[in-house]
Structure 1
Amino acid sequence: MDTNLAVLIDGDNIPSAYIKEMMEEIAKHGNPTIKRIYGDWTKPHLAKWKNVLLENAINPIQQYGYTQGKNATDSAMIIDAMDILYSNKVDGFCIVSSDSDFTRLATRLREAGMKVIGLGEKKTPDPFIVACDRFIYIEILKDNDKDTEAASKKGKSPKKSSVDRITPKVVRLIAHTISDVADEDGWAFLGDVGSLLQKKQPNFDSRNYGFEKLTPMIDSIGKFEIESRTNQNSKFKLIYVRNIKDKK
């Protein structure tokens, strides 16, 4: 059964160039039954959004800026989110913004048992990121460099300024997470590793480092052993990993 999602977009804070990739990404996590974008549509900076709303079936919500220097859009999104929450029509929310003002909203929605996915630019403050179940940087969704995909298939990180470097801190995070879910022989199911990584760090995503999947990213580090096992109940193979130091 699909997770029904309410998608609320801060039109003042997110560029329209990412809309196609954002909606495709959101569809991976559930069915976007409510799609709304907020902003003052009398302002010229939202003109580009107007061209893509109809083709993506997003409902524009007009919000005038009543006071200079105050963001009325944030308040409108928060009020609507609470109305939707109490309507019991959705299972989760997707908040599309890079604004830390939505931190308390994300926390409140999770307290109510809602799944909360955040999408925003890499400039998004940490408090909003950690308030979400998962946070996805929109920069990794729009990839115009074909070399990135080719490099990922080869298990290499592409040379691209927007790609994060795999630091020793990231390696330690992965190693500790593998240990947390490993069996007595040190092996851990990769699916469990990925889930726990996102619980520990909501913005963890192999695509941040130039890899479409977690497996080639882990393999590229050289400090982990990877094993593919046949699943008797399915044609798919299961991937297991362990820290090389745990090898017996």
Structure 2
Amino acid sequence: MAIQSPATCGPASAPSKPRVALLVDGENLTQDLAGKIIQAALAEGEVVIRRVYGDAGRLPKWNAAPGFKMMHSGSGKNATDLLLTVEAMALMLGRQADVLCIAASDGDYTHLATYLREAGFRVVGLGESKASERLRKSFTRFRELAVSDVAKVASPTPPKPDSAAKSVLDKVIALIRDEGGNDGFSIVKLSGRMHALHQTKISTLPEKTWRNFLKSHEQLFECEPKGQDSKVRLRNAAR
């Protein structure tokens, strides 16, 4: 009677799941979406790396989010985008993961996703409905994160429209002054930063787009012509 070798004895081992690296742009997506982000990433395999990027001082909720490692990028221009991109390249080219999940709706990650996908990696995007078609198509797959009703809790006493508009205006001025400086602030990034810092969505305001909002206050803002790299600067009246 033939005796089976040890290699053929016993139950077959279960195939291992793909290793997933989950990198979140914490300045582009709020911590309210953390649960949905994790669930979407788990659909791709075993999430072995969970990192969130941004200025830790401005993101206390993400900094305290359980299971995530906070990667402080500082407050420099495009600091978060650059740090996330550098670490994504290092992780994937260093074969520390099989799948890369980028949680962001920011079109600046289009080149990163395209490069790694063409290099043979599975790159999955996790973002909101506002993500552009160009960004979506740069990924192997894009999973849309539906905003939970819990994240839409309104204040008990909503501010009057006039006071609400002035509050938004003050916040936009402060953002452009603090993060744009003399070089100006990217208009494309205004939506993500205002939502991340103040949970403000332009769709709730009469202007409906940030460019229209800025143009409605031309005495305060100077906008460059439309384009992916167009910027807005403060006029002297707003400084």
Using structure 1 for the length normalisation, give the TM-score. Answer: 0.52
Per-residue Cα deviation, 1:113-168 (whole angstroms, up to 9, x for no partner): 1111101111111111000111111116x467xxxxxxxxxxxxxxxxxxxxxxxx
Letter in structure 2 aligned against 1:80: E
Letter in structure 2 aligned against 1:101: D
Letter in structure 2 aligned against 1:27: L
Matches within 5 A, 1:50-199: 50-52=63-65, 55=66, 57-66=67-76, 70-139=77-146, 142=148
Aligned counterparts of 1:58 and 1:51: Cα–Cα separation in 2: 8
Determine helix, strand or coil for the equivalent of 2:114.
helix
Give 1:244's aligned residue: none
Determine helix, strand or coil for the equivalent of 1:110.
helix
Letter in structure 2 aligned against 1:28: A
Determine helix, strand or coil for the equivalent of 1:124.
coil
Shift of 1:28: 1.5
Matched, 1:47 2:64: no
Aligned counterparts of 2:68 and 2:85: Cα–Cα separation in 1: 18
Aligned counterparts of 1:90 and 1:61: Cα–Cα separation in 2: 18
Per-residue Cα deviation, 1:202-224 (whole angstroms, up to 9, x for no partner): xxxxxxxxxxxxxxxxxxxxxxx
Using structure 2 for the length normalisation, give the TM-score. Answer: 0.54
Q: Work out the percentage of aligned pairs sharing the same amino acid.
A: 33
Q: Of the candidates 14, 19, 35, which is equivalent to residue 20 of structure 1?
A: 35
CA contact (8 A) 2:40 2:126 kept: no
Aligned counterparts of 2:86 and 2:40: Cα–Cα separation in 1: 25
Aligned counterparts of 1:107 and 1:96: Cα–Cα separation in 2: 15
Where does the alignment leave 5 or more consecutive residues of structure 1 unmatched?
Answer: 145-248
Aligned counterparts of 1:65 and 1:122: Cα–Cα separation in 2: 27
Per-residue Cα deviation, 1:58-85 (whole angstroms, up to 9, x for no partner): 111011122xxx2210000010011112
Aligned counterparts of 2:53 and 2:111: Cα–Cα separation in 1: 18
Aligned counterparts of 1:25 and 1:64: Cα–Cα separation in 2: 28
Letter in structure 1 aligned against 2:103: V
Letter in structure 1 aligned against 2:63: K
Aligned counterparts of 2:92 and 2:124: Cα–Cα separation in 1: 15
Aligned counterparts of 2:40 and 2:126: Cα–Cα separation in 1: 10
Q: How many residues in Structure 1 have an aligned counterpart in Structure 2?
A: 135
CA contact (8 A) 2:31 2:61 kept: yes
Give 1:206's aligned residue: none
Give 1:32's aligned residue: 47
Letter in structure 2 aligned against 1:18: L
Per-residue Cα deviation, 1:13-40 (whole angstroms, up to 9, x for no partner): 0011111122122111111111111001
Hey, which bits of structure 1, 4+ residues long, moved more than 2 A?
A: none
Structure of higher CA gyration radius: 2
Aligned counterparts of 1:48 and 1:36: Cα–Cα separation in 2: 14
Where does the alignment leave 5 or more consecutive residues of structure 2 unmatched?
Answer: 1-15, 151-239
